[in-house]
Structure 1
C-alpha cells in the first residue's frame, strides 16, 4: 500500500479541496519554510489510517478544515479512499470509505458523508494489506490483554515525526506512549515473518492447555485434601448428627467407610414435621370468638345496669307516693270542716281570687295515688325476673369466655413447642448441610483414580504442545530476520560515517530495547550512549530504510511507504525560517542523507515510497525531480502552504 493523494476540505464546503499528490514507488520531498504545515502532513496521514486521537494542533488547520481524505493504492492496482471528519473533541470514530479500481480519485466535498467507523476502516485496510487473522495471545500470566493485529500496529513502522527521528531513546513511532513499546515487541515478529497465525494459535492452545492442567491439578489436590479432612472430621459430624436425632445406636468405633455410610443415612433422614396450618386457622377462630364474646358480655352488662337503674327509679317513685299518701291521710281526721266554703279564707273571711281545693277533691286525689302505688308495686316481680334471666345469660357468656381463654393458652403452648421444633429443624438442616458439603468434597477411590487420569492426560497434552511451540522458535526466527536487516544497516551506517560505525562489526535493531545497538569487539553500544543528534537521526534513517527494504523483499503486510519529518534538523539552527538560505550548514552530510534515501527507493524498484517533509532544498537534479511541492514564496511574493492563503480570507 502506497499513498497517492492527501486532500483537505474547507469547512464552508468550498471546492475544489486542497490536494497534495504523491508519486508511488519514488522519493517524495515536501520542502518549504517553517510554519507552513509540513509537520502536520504526517499527523493527518496517520489520522486517516485510523488513529483515534489525531493529535492535530489547534491552529489554522483546525479552524478551516472539515474533512481529511487519503487516497491509497494497493499492489493489485485497486484503490481506496479513507476520509475522517475533523474531530469535534479529543477523538472521533466516524469515517468515510470508498474502494475502486485505478480510476478512483479524491471525492468531492458533497460526497463526504460518514458511512463507516474507525474499526471498519482499519479492518478494510488490514484485509487489503494482507494482514492475516492474527489474534495475539500474551504469554500466560502476562498483565495485558490479547488483541487482533491490524494496520494500527503496522503503521507504527511507517512514521517518524520530527521529535521521534532525533530521539536517542526510542526507535519507532509512538514508542514512548503507554503500552506501545510492548505492542511493538509483540507484533514486530509477525511483521518480520518470524511468527504467524499458526504459531499464535499453537501458543494460545498451549496457554489453554496449561490452564486446564492447573485446573486438573487443583481438583486432585482438593479431593485428596478433603479426603484427609473427612478422616479427621467425619466422626465428629456423625456424633453431631446423633445428638440432633438423625442417627441412633452409633457404634463407638468406626472406620471411614462406616462414617461415610452413616453420614449418608443422616443426610437422608427427614426432619420432624411442623404444626399444620389448621392450628393457625383454629387460633384465628378462637381470637375472633373471644372478641365476639367480649362484645356480648358488654351488652349484658349494659342491660343489667339499665334494669338496676329502672329498679332504683321505681323505688324512688313509690317511696315518694307513700310519703304523700301518708300526708294526705290526715284529711280523714276532719269533721264538719269538710264542708267549709273554699272560696273564703278561713282566717280573714275574705273572698279568695282562686278557690282552694275542697276536701272532696283532695280525697279523690289520694284515692287515685293509692291505686297508682298499688299498680307500681305489681311491676317489681317482673323486673326481678328479667334481671335474673339477664344475669344467667351473662354467666353463660362468662363461662364460654373462660373456656376460650383456656383454649388459646393451650394453642400458645403448642406455638412454643412449634418454635422449639423449628429451632431443632434449623439445627438439623445446618448439620445436614455440613454433611452434604463434606460428602460432595470427599471423593471415593474411583473419583481419585478418575482425577489422576485427567491430570495425566492434561500433562501429556501440554507436553505435546510445548514441543510444537519449541519447534516454532519465534525468538530465533526474529533474530535471524533482524540479522538480515542489520546487514543493510551496517553498510549504510558506514556510508554515512555515523559515530561508532567504523569500528562496529554490526549495527542492528534490538527487539528487547527497541533501539539501535552497535556490536563491537569491545562490547555492545546502544544508541543511548552515542552522542550528537546527527548520529541519532542517521541511525534512525538507516534502521528504517533497512527494515522497509527487508519488508518489501519478503512481501510482508506492512504499508509500502515511510514518512520522515525534518530528517536534517540537526544540521540547522533551531526552527530555521528557510534552511536553503543557511550557508554554513553541513550540506555535504545533508546531501548524503537524501542521496541515501533516493538510492534506497531505487533499490526497491518501486516497492517502497519515501515521503520527506523538510526545510532543505538541494539544487541537485535528482532532488528537484523528487520535490512534489515547495512551500516558499514565489517570485511575485505569493505564499504557499498546506492551507491555501485564500482559505484564511
Structure 2
C-alpha cells in the first residue's frame, strides 16, 4: 500500500481541495520552512487511516479545513479515505470509496459520510493481506484479546519528530498505554514468525486448560462430597444404633455394609406406646372452663347493673327527702275560712301580685312524694337479697373453675410419661428422615458422576498435552529472533556506513523485541540505545532500524503498508529554533547528505516496493534530492494556501 495524494477541503465548501501528491515506490520529500504544516502531514495521514483521536493542534489547519482525505493504492486498486473534521477530540465518521487506478481526489460536493473507522480499517486490513485472526494473550497475562489489523501495522510506518530522535522509544506511539505491548504481540506475526494457526493453537490451549481446571475443581468437590458423605453416614449409623433402630455397628465396615445398616434403620418400626385418647377429655374440660368463665362474666355484668341501680336509687331517695323537707311546713298552715283564692298569701293573708298554686295541690304533691319514698325504701331488701345471690353464684363458679384447673393439671401430670414416648418417636422419625436424605444424596449415581468427571479430566489432559506439543513446536520466540537476525544484518551494515557511534566495533546491531529498541551486541556485552549519546546517533539508529525492517517486510511479502513516513529526521544537525535549514551554514551537511542518501539507496534496493515520505527543513542541491522533492514550502507556500487564510480572516 502506497500513498497517492493527500487532500484538504475548505470549510466554506469551495469545490477544489488543496492536494499534496506523492510518488508510489519512491522517495518523497516535503521540504520547507518551519510552521508551514510539514509535521501536520503525518497526523493527517494517520487520522485518514482510521485513528479516532484527532491529534492536530488548534490553528490555521483546523480553523480552515472541513474534510481530510487520503488516496491510497494497493495493487491495481485505489481507495479514497475521507474523514470530516471532528467537532470534538475524536470521531469515528468516515468516507470510503473504492475504485481502480483511475480513481482520483474528488471535488468537495462528493465528500459525505458513508462509513466509519472500523470499515476503513477492516477494508485496508483485508486488502493488504492481514489474515482474520484474534490475538490471544498467554493465560494469566492480564490483558485482553484483540483483532490484528492495520491499526497495529501502521505503527511500524510512522515516525514523528519527537519519536525519531528518542533514545528510549523505537516505534510510533510506543510510549502510550498498551501500545508497546500491542507491538510486542503483533510484531512476530508481521515478521512471519507467527500466524493465525499459532494463535488458534494458543487459544485452544488456553481454553482446554481452563476446561481442565474447571473439571478438576468439580472432581475435588465431588470427592469431598463423597468423603464427607462417608463420615456423615457413619455418624448417622451410630445415631441410629443409639436410638435402637439397628444393632451395634461393627468395627470394620464397608460402604456396602454401611448402606445396608442405614436402610435397615430406615425401615425399622420402633415399639413405642401410643398415646391414649386424652384429647376428648381435654376438650371437654376446656369447654367447661369457657362456659364457667362466660357465666362468671354474666354475673359480674349483672352485679355491675345492680350497683348502678343502687347508686341511682340512693341519689333519688336523697332528692326526695330534700323536696319533702321543703313541702311539709306548708301542711302546718291552713287556708283562710271560706277563701280559696289562690291570690291570697296563706301566711300574711295579703293579696299576691300573681296567683300561687293551691295549697291542696302542694299537699297532694307532698303525699305523692311520701309514697314514692316508701316504695324506694321497700325495694332495698330485694336488692340486697339479689346481691347476695349473685355473690353466692360467683363463689360457686370460682370453685368449679378451681376444680377444672386442678383436673387439667392432674391430666397433664399423668401424660408426662406418654409425652416422653412421643418425643422419642419424633426423634426416631428425625433420624430416619436424615438417613433417607443422605441415601438419596450419596446414591451410587454420585459415585458414577465422580468416575465420569475423572474420565473427562483424563481426556482433557491428553488433549492439552497434544496441543502443548504443537504450541512448543511453533517456537514463535525463536523464529522471531531468527527473522530479526536478517533485519540485523542490514541494520549493522547501514549503521557502519553512516559511521554511527559504536557501530564499527559492534558485532551486531539489532532490534530487541523485549525492549522494543535498538541494541548493539559488542565484545563488552549488550549496549541498548539508551546507553548511547547524541541525538544524531539516536536518529541514525532509528533510520537504519526502520529501513531494514521495511526492507525485510517487502522481501518476505508481509502484510504491512509499503510506506514509511519520517518527520524531521535531520533535526539534530541544526541549531535550535531553526526556521529554514537552507540558511544554516554550520550544520554537518555531509552527515545530512549521508542520511538522505541511505534513505534513497534503501528505496532503490526495494525496487518500487517501498515508499518513503520525509518532511524536513532540508533542501540539498543534489540532483537526486531535488528529483525527490514533491513540495517546497518556502516563499509563502505552505500546506494551507494563503487565499484560505485570507478568506478565514
| TM-score relative to the length of structure 2 | 0.77
Question: Which residue in 1 is equivalent to 2:71?
Answer: 71
1:95 aligns with 2:97: no
The CA distance in 2 between the partners of 1:268 and 1:71, in whole Å, is: 89
User: Quick check: 252-261 or 171-180, which moved more?
Assistant: 252-261
1:491 alignment partner, SS class? helix
The CA distance in 1 between the partners of 2:298 and 2:337, in whole Å, is: 64
Question: Which residue in 1 is equivalent to 2:19?
Answer: 19
The CA distance in 1 between the partners of 2:145 and 2:436, in whole Å, is: 42
1:120 aligns with 2:119: yes
The CA distance in 1 between the partners of 2:545 and 2:389, in whole Å, is: 124
The CA distance in 1 between the partners of 2:439 and 2:76, in whole Å, is: 66
Correspondent of 2:586 among 584, 587, 595? 584
The CA distance in 2 between the partners of 1:584 and 1:68, in whole Å, is: 38
| TM-score relative to the length of structure 1 | 0.77
1:574 alignment partner, SS class? coil
Question: Which residue in 2 is equivalent to 1:488?
Answer: 490
8 Å CA contact 2:77–2:98 kept in 1: the answer is no
Question: Which residue in 2 is equivalent to 1:129?
Answer: 128
1:78 alignment partner, SS class? strand
8 Å CA contact 1:267–1:432 kept in 2: the answer is no
2:163 alignment partner, SS class? coil
The CA distance in 2 between the partners of 1:105 and 1:268, in whole Å, is: 93
1:144 alignment partner, SS class? coil
| Cα offset, 1:566, TM superposition | 0.9
Q: Residues 358, 533 of structure 1: CA spacing in aligned structure 2 closer, same or farther, 3 A cutoff?
A: closer
8 Å CA contact 1:32–1:630 kept in 2: the answer is yes
Gaps of 5+ in 2: 269-290, 410-418
Question: Which residue in 1 is equivalent to 2:37?
Answer: 37
The CA distance in 2 between the partners of 1:294 and 1:116, in whole Å, is: 96
User: Quick check: 180-189 or 91-100, which moved more?
Assistant: 91-100
Question: Which residue in 1 is equivalent to 2:6?
Answer: 6
Question: Which residue in 2 is equivalent to 1:414?
Answer: none
The CA distance in 1 between the partners of 2:532 and 2:356, in whole Å, is: 156
The CA distance in 1 between the partners of 2:454 and 2:358, in whole Å, is: 136
Q: Residues 322, 612 of structure 1: CA spacing in aligned structure 2 closer, same or farther, 3 A cutoff?
A: closer
User: Quick check: 461-470 or 13-22, which moved more?
Assistant: 13-22
Question: Which residue in 2 is equivalent to 1:51?
Answer: 51
| Cα offset, 1:35, TM superposition | 1.8
Q: Residues 353, 504 of structure 1: CA spacing in aligned structure 2 closer, same or farther, 3 A cutoff?
A: closer
Taking the TM superposition and a 5 Å limit, the aligned residue runs for 1:566-585 are 566-585=568-587
The CA distance in 2 between the partners of 1:433 and 1:30, in whole Å, is: 90
2:141 alignment partner, SS class? coil
| Cα offset, 1:266, TM superposition | 9.8
Question: Which residue in 1 is equivalent to 2:412?
Answer: none
| Cα offset, 1:483, TM superposition | 2.0
Question: Which residue in 2 is equivalent to 1:554?
Answer: 556
The CA distance in 1 between the partners of 2:362 and 2:221, in whole Å, is: 121
| Cα offset, 1:60, TM superposition | 2.8
User: Quick check: 223-232 or 435-444, which moved more?
Assistant: 435-444
| Cα offset, 1:206, TM superposition | 1.1
Q: Residues 596, 267 of structure 1: CA spacing in aligned structure 2 closer, same or farther, 3 A cutoff?
A: farther
| Cα offset, 1:563, TM superposition | 0.1
1:102 alignment partner, SS class? coil
8 Å CA contact 1:508–1:516 kept in 2: the answer is yes
Taking the TM superposition and a 5 Å limit, the aligned residue runs for 1:444-593 are 446-593=448-595
Question: Which residue in 2 is equivalent to 1:283?
Answer: none
8 Å CA contact 1:122–1:150 kept in 2: the answer is yes
The CA distance in 1 between the partners of 2:312 and 2:451, in whole Å, is: 100
1:68 alignment partner, SS class? strand
Question: Which residue in 2 is equivalent to 1:218?
Answer: 217
The CA distance in 2 between the partners of 1:564 and 1:114, in whole Å, is: 30
Question: Which residue in 2 is equivalent to 1:170?
Answer: 169
Q: Residues 140, 372 of structure 1: CA spacing in aligned structure 2 closer, same or farther, 3 A cutoff?
A: closer
The CA distance in 2 between the partners of 1:61 and 1:358, in whole Å, is: 131
Q: Over aligned residue pairs, what C-alpha RMSD do you find?
A: 5.0
User: Quick check: 522-531 or 435-444, which moved more?
Assistant: 435-444
Taking the TM superposition and a 5 Å limit, the aligned residue runs for 1:234-383 are 234-236=233-235, 248-249=245-246, 251-253=248-250, 255=253, 257=255, 304=306, 307-308=309-310, 311-312=313-314, 315-316=317-318, 340-342=337-339, 352-354=350-352
Question: Which residue in 1 is equivalent to 2:146?
Answer: 147
| Cα offset, 1:26, TM superposition | 1.5
Q: Residues 23, 364 of structure 1: CA spacing in aligned structure 2 closer, same or farther, 3 A cutoff?
A: closer
1:630 aligns with 2:626: no
Q: Residues 321, 143 of structure 1: CA spacing in aligned structure 2 closer, same or farther, 3 A cutoff?
A: closer
| Cα offset, 1:596, TM superposition | 2.1
Taking the TM superposition and a 5 Å limit, the aligned residue runs for 1:390-429 are none
The CA distance in 2 between the partners of 1:146 and 1:251, in whole Å, is: 63
Question: Which residue in 2 is equivalent to 1:282?
Answer: none
8 Å CA contact 2:164–2:539 kept in 1: the answer is yes
8 Å CA contact 1:3–1:70 kept in 2: the answer is yes
The CA distance in 1 between the partners of 2:101 and 2:266, in whole Å, is: 80
| Cα offset, 1:513, TM superposition | 2.1
The CA distance in 2 between the partners of 1:37 and 1:585, in whole Å, is: 23
Deviations 1:131-189 (A, max 9, x none): 11121011111121111111110010000111211222222111222222221111001
The CA distance in 1 between the partners of 2:373 and 2:162, in whole Å, is: 134
Taking the TM superposition and a 5 Å limit, the aligned residue runs for 1:594-613 are 594-613=596-615
Q: Residues 592, 120 of structure 1: CA spacing in aligned structure 2 closer, same or farther, 3 A cutoff?
A: same
Deviations 1:70-123 (A, max 9, x none): 22222232323231423513x333333333333333344444444333333322
1:198 aligns with 2:186: no
8 Å CA contact 1:79–1:102 kept in 2: the answer is no
The CA distance in 2 between the partners of 1:479 and 1:207, in whole Å, is: 24
Q: Residues 627, 398 of structure 1: CA spacing in aligned structure 2 closer, same or farther, 3 A cutoff?
A: farther
The CA distance in 1 between the partners of 2:266 and 2:597, in whole Å, is: 89
2:484 alignment partner, SS class? helix
8 Å CA contact 2:71–2:104 kept in 1: the answer is yes
| Cα offset, 1:207, TM superposition | 1.3
The aligned length equals: 601
The CA distance in 2 between the partners of 1:252 and 1:357, in whole Å, is: 115
8 Å CA contact 1:237–1:435 kept in 2: the answer is no
Question: Which residue in 2 is equivalent to 1:273?
Answer: none
| Cα offset, 1:374, TM superposition | 8.3
8 Å CA contact 1:27–1:598 kept in 2: the answer is yes
| Cα offset, 1:595, TM superposition | 1.9
The CA distance in 1 between the partners of 2:212 and 2:372, in whole Å, is: 118
Deviations 1:333-364 (A, max 9, x none): xxxx99845489x9x99963259999988887
| Cα offset, 1:448, TM superposition | 4.3
